[in-house]
Amino acid sequence: MQIIDGKKLAKEIRDDIAKEVERLKKERDITPGLAVILVGDDPASHAYVKMKAKACKEAGIYSITHEMPESISQSEIEETILMMNKNPNIDGILVQLPLPSHIDTTKILELIDPKKDVDGFHAYNFGRLMTGLDGFVPCTPLGVMEMLKAYGIDPKGKDACVVGASNIVGKPMAALLLNAFATVDICHIYTKNLPEHTRRADILVVGVGKAGLITEEMVKEGAVVIDIGINRLDDGTLVGDVDYDNVAPKCSYITPVPGGVGPMTIAMLLKNTLKAAKERA
């Protein structure tokens, strides 16, 4: 069993991005710019945004955060996005989710210029992903594919199972694996007999937010297990969706939580922002 060290890999990627950013500044006089919209006082959202801002600074990427109160109106958020769409110094626009219940999230995300959609949530970019065309890919699934590549795990011809069918993780993850010629099984809350699906998987990707969902008997011997879930237990411990201690011995490769997929998500955000800046150049 080998642990996939997302923290180490993310640092290597971020170091490479910092060099490319420096080169872009010198050769084209362009500094990549990322704008973040943060609504409300959710502690987790504030922590994520703070981490993203720190990562941008270390990579030499300009970042700005628009903090808005929980009571903000739909039109005020829309006006801010339209302003950023027109700003030539902003290459990427990110709306930190979730938004308050009175905000139409789909409408907000679709208002972002697809060329600045570094989160890869716009229907335009999702459509390009589904058809195998170049575009912006959601950061977490993209990070998973980078991990597989770095560890020499080729999905081609493998049976893959994705547990979770969200627009942000599950669906784009399945599309990426399908584009890499894996045979993909997608499971969700209404799937009957989940273990029957997971036990067939050579590559098992789980991201539903339920601690200990995947147990030892649900995993094939020698499987690659990618745990995207992040759950905080009552004692404050962070764990994934996989029962790591019991599942790990059966795996050929497995990601830990924390230190697995999480750091890769931020690294991919920087990578997408750099990509947007290069396209501007």
pLDDT of residue 85: 97
pTM of the model: 0.95
**CA atoms of 278 and 70, how far apart (whole Å):** 35
Q: How confident is the model at residue 44 (pLDDT cuts 50, 70, 90)?
A: confident
- Count other C-beta atoms under 10 Å from residue 85's C-beta: 15
Residue type (1 letter), 114: P
Query: Which residue numbers are catalytic?
Result: 52, 96, 119
- pLDDT of residue 87 exceeding 90, the answer is yes
* Residue positions counted in the chain: 281
Q: What is the 3-state secondary structure (H, E, C) of 141-159?
A: HHHHHHHHHHCCCCCCCCE
Given a contact cutoff of 8 angstroms between Cβ atoms, the answer to whether 206 and 226 are in contact is yes
* Within a domain: 176: yes
Q: Is residue 192 part of a domain?
A: yes
Residues 37 and 108 in one domain: yes
Exposure string for 64-77, b = 16+ CB within 10 A, e = fewer: ebbebeeebeeeeb
pLDDT at 141: 98
Instruction: Kindly state whether residues 148 and 256 are assigned to the same domain.
Output: yes
201, amino acid identity: A
pLDDT band at 164 (very low <50, low <70, confident <90, very high): very high
Q: How many CA atoms lie less than 13 Å away from 92 in the CB half-sphere?
A: 35
Q: How far is CA 41 from CA 36, 68, 102, in A?
A: 15, 9, 15
Identify the domain containing residue 81 by its residue range: 29-128
Is the Cβ–Cβ distance between 143 and 265 less than 8 Å?
Answer: yes
Kindly report the CATH number assigned to the domain that includes residue 103. 3.40.50.10860
Instruction: Judge whether residue 139 has pLDDT over 90.
Output: yes
Has residue 4 been placed in a domain?
A: no
My answer on whether 249 and 211 are in the same domain is: yes
Instruction: Match 């893959």 to its residue by tokens.
Output: 160
